[in-house]
Every structure is written in C-alpha cells, then in structure tokens.
Amino acid sequence: MIKIKSGNLYLVTGASGFLGFPLVKKITEEGGRVRALARDEGKLIDLKEKFPSIEIHPGDIYDKFEIKQAMDGVHGVFHLAASKHVGLAETYVRENVKSNTLGSLNILEESLNHPDLEFILGDNEVYDWFKGMLSNLNNISDEEIIKIDKKLGKKPKYGTIKK
C-alpha cells in the first residue's frame, strides 16, 4: 500500500484531469509536496490558485526533456496523463500512441535514472488506490464509485513499479 510521506515530493502527470484535482488535494492534505505536470497551462494555473504550495510544470509526457525535468527529485510518480476518450483515440491514433504508449515509456525509461524513486503508479493503479482512499475516508457509496467508473469508461492498463 502506498502511503504519502510528509515532506516528500510527488509527480502527478495529467494533474489537470478528472482525477488530478482530488489526488493533488489528497497528497497536500497528507503533507506531501506536489509537482503537477499537464499540457493545459490554464488548468495548471487554476490548480496552483487552489493549491498555492504545489509546483506546476506545463509539458507533455511525450517530451523526454520535460519528463527528465519533472522527475528530478521526486519520491513517487502518479501517472494519470493519457488520452482516455476511445472515440478520439480511434480517430487520432498517432496522438493516442504518443501519449499512452511513448509518453509512458518515457516515464519508465527516466525512472531508471532515479534509484531512490519509491514507486510509479499508472492510471488504473492510481484510480484503484485513490478510489479506496475516498471510500474509506469519505464514506463514498458503491453507487458513487460505480458512477466514477462509468464516467472514466474503459481504462488502459499500466503496471505498477516499486523499487
């Protein structure tokens, strides 16, 4: 089980997305520090206004240099960045592969340069971990969790890496 450690820095990719906001909130409430990475600068600024202590890092996980910078000094990675809309993924295959496959590969490759990195959670694992945290802490009903599942739709599979 992943536990947020007070004072540790965590990278959240796709921080401006559906799960990004509540995850950033949870990490900061637990005393962790957040580096938020996302393509949408406007949403990152909104996130920074709500959570002034976070670092924002506009960028794309497809860019190896951006990943290298974003992962510098982090203790763990919550990897949420992905193209999730099936219809768009079928139409814009190249963009989907850049984000979901090559971007994820960039994160995994860069992790080899960080022997102190404690974990990388992919979006399914982040979702399952976070869903459990929400249901335990906020007494969210099974019906609410089912609504979240339906809203997210079918999720791509990523593995969990613990060092």
DSSP for the chain, written as a single string: ---PPTT-EEEEETTTSTTHHHHHHHHHHTT-EEEEEES-HHHHHHHHHH-TTSEEEE--TT-HHHHHHHHTT-SEEEE------HHHHHH-HHHHIIIIIIIHHHHHHHHTT-TT--EEE-HHHHHHHHHHHHHHHH---HHHHHHHHHHH-SPPP---EE-
Domain-embedded: residue 1: no
Residue 115: which CATH number?
Answer: 3.40.50.720
pLDDT tens figures, 27-42: 999 999 999 999 999 9
Domain-embedded: residue 65: yes
- pTM for the full predicted model: 0.75
Q: What is the mean pLDDT of the chain?
A: 80
Residue 59 pLDDT > 90, yes or no? yes
What gap in Å lies between CA 39 and CA 61, rounded to an integer?
9
Number of separate domains in the chain: 1
pLDDT tens figures, 61-78: 999 999 999 999 999 999
How confident is the model over 84-91, as a mean pLDDT?
A: 67
Q: In this predicted structure, what is the pLDDT of residue 156?
A: 38
Q: Could you list the residue range(s) of the whole structural domain that residue 73 is in?
A: 9-162
Domain-embedded: residue 133: yes
Domain-embedded: residue 4: no
Domain-embedded: residue 3: no
